[in-house]
A and B are shown apart, each in its own frame.
Chain A
Amino acid sequence: MRTRSFDVAVIGSGPAGMAAAISASDEGSSVVIIDREGRSGGVLKQCVHDGFGLERFHKRLSGPWYAQIESDEVSRRPIEVHQDTFASRIEKTPSGFSIFCSSPRGFERIDCAALIMATGCRERTSKQIAIHGTRPAGIFNAGTAQNMVNIHGILPGRKAVILGSGDIGLIMARRLSLEGCQVIGVYEAKSEPSGLARNIHQCLDDYHIPLYLGTTVTRCIGIERLEAVEVAKTDSSMHPIAGTEQIVSCDTLVISVGLIAENELIKPLGVKMDKATSAPVTDQYSMTSINGLFCTGNCRVVFDLVDTVSKTSMICGRRASQIARKASAGPAVQVVSCTDLAFVCPQVIRMPAGKVQLHFRPKKVLRDYMLTASQDGKIIGQKYYSVLRPAQMEDIEISADESQAEIRLEGESR
């Protein structure tokens, strides 16, 4: 078997993988990127809408544009990019990791001292939510529909119902409208929209697409092709209410009901997982519980903004390069979240840390909220939020230097 060796290997050539590879290379490491697709960019290639790069470049770039800037940066550096290469298994070795890949050149092994996973996330499918009825053609995940339209130029249908008000669902409602498909409505089981408020405005309101909150799809109807869906009102625990069913005629159902961090490749290594993010526990450099194994971008936690993904992945790449050259990881202290928050990332902080950004989402809408981080009773970070929404990731900066005690988050609505 062909074997190659690098200081740092990156799996995934989306925005996270490219940013991590760039900073690891700039830090002096030999770097390889392994990417299953023929072209770098990851999901950004199909996100043709604008609004990317506002924080980083102060411009409203479209997804492919942002990806191209980054992949041009990669090609200016001595980074090897293996496209059309699929990593199928990872082993821990005494000196790091071995990645087994199938590539156009055949089966290969890539050895590395530090490994950065930048595998992104997957969409929850219709099989993972309780929709009854037949299984005709015409049922798509929003990302699949987006890939069909924007990468292959295929319209998935003529008359679409969208289930789930996550950002991809909202963006696909607009995209399908612009491509001449009739979008009947967006149905959301929760009482609050899951996507950003600005996407409700520019994707639904602009195109007069109705949003039905507290309503879900309960059944698919059709034999060969989808002919209609049954929708019903939901109660506060998102269960359909009997007697409220209605039939909505359509030939396409687009499902946008959440994202799952993709970490199947590293689970067998025994990496410590966080139930709240369904992803590995990571420190402020995106390193997991296994020394030298990093997990960055949407496989670490599902971010709202690619700008944040790039920023955190740059930090990750630099650190991976140092760890590959035997830098010590430092002692870890726990970050203890509070009950108002759905998760906090990073979950551990390596000391000494200095200034660190903690990312989080609230479980529900919180107004007039003060969040305080403390260590040994001493306040190490505090921030006021006029409103916190589950759809919007927020951060707080902490400054942790001296104490080895756990970091506690506490919040209160004032």
Chain B
Amino acid sequence: MICISCPRGCELSVQGSSDNLIVTGNHCPKGREFAISETIRPQRFLTTTVSVAPGLGCQRLAVISRDPIDLDRLKDLSLSLKSFCIDHEIELGQEVLRLGDAVFLAASSLKKEKPDER
């Protein structure tokens, strides 16, 4: 497997049973961590967008899950987020919504548009 922890992309291999996994090919401790979690329970951060009400400067707000989410849940969660709409100002990193135990943070800020000063 290829490590996704950083751009280096180490080629990892994992041997042994689930209570004693031996990881080789990693150049840092993150590689070992990744290989073990990838073998036992693969998880990813989910990034997507939700819609934004008019007057807040853009049509979509980028969001990112606060914690990694099980790989096999990503698609369903992403589609469920389609029904959300943000209608108020948001700060960078603020919690914007929850879906079960998955918490999503705003990846940019939203400010009310000022009246045109041109």
Binding site for B on A (CB under 8 A): 38-39, 41, 45, 48-51, 54, 60-65, 67-69, 72, 104-105, 149-153, 177-180, 196-198, 200-202, 206-207, 304-305, 392
Which of chain B's residues 71-103 have a Cβ closer than 8 Å to chain A? Answer: 71, 74-75, 78-79, 92-93
If A50-B64, A202-B4 are given as contacts, then 12 extra A-B residue pairs at C-beta distance below 8 Å, sorted by A number, are A39-B58, A54-B7, A62-B64, A65-B62, A67-B108, A68-B108, A72-B92, A104-B118, A150-B60, A153-B49, A200-B2, A392-B9
Contacts of A64 in B (CB 8 A): 62, 107-108
Which chain A residue shows the least CB distance to B45? A50
**A177, closest chain B residue (CB):** B75
Residues of B contacting A45 with CB < 8 Å?
A: 62, 108
Count of interface residues, chain B, beta-carbon cutoff 8 Å = 33
Given contacts A65-B64, A67-B108, A196-B9, contact A48 B47 (CB under 8 A): yes
Q: Is A178 a contact partner of B6 (Cβ separation < 8 A)? A: no
21 A-B residue pairs with Cβ-Cβ distance under 8 Å, sorted by A, are A45-B108, A63-B62, A65-B93, A67-B108, A68-B109, A72-B92, A105-B118, A151-B59, A152-B60, A153-B49, A153-B59, A177-B75, A178-B74, A179-B78, A196-B7, A196-B9, A197-B2, A198-B7, A198-B9, A200-B2, A206-B71
Check if A178 sits within 8 Å of B48, measured CB to CB.
yes
Q: Are A178 and B60 in contact (CB under 8 A)?
A: no
The chain A residue sitting closest to B109, CB to CB, is: A68
Cα A72 to Cα B71 in complex, Å, equals 33
A150 touches B71 (CB 8 A): no
Q: Which of the residues A48, A51, A202 comes within 8 Å of B49, measured between beta carbons?
A: A48
Q: Specify which chain B residues have a CB less than 8 angstroms from the CB of A51 in the assembled complex.
A: 4, 7
CB distance from A411 to the nearest CB of B (A): 20
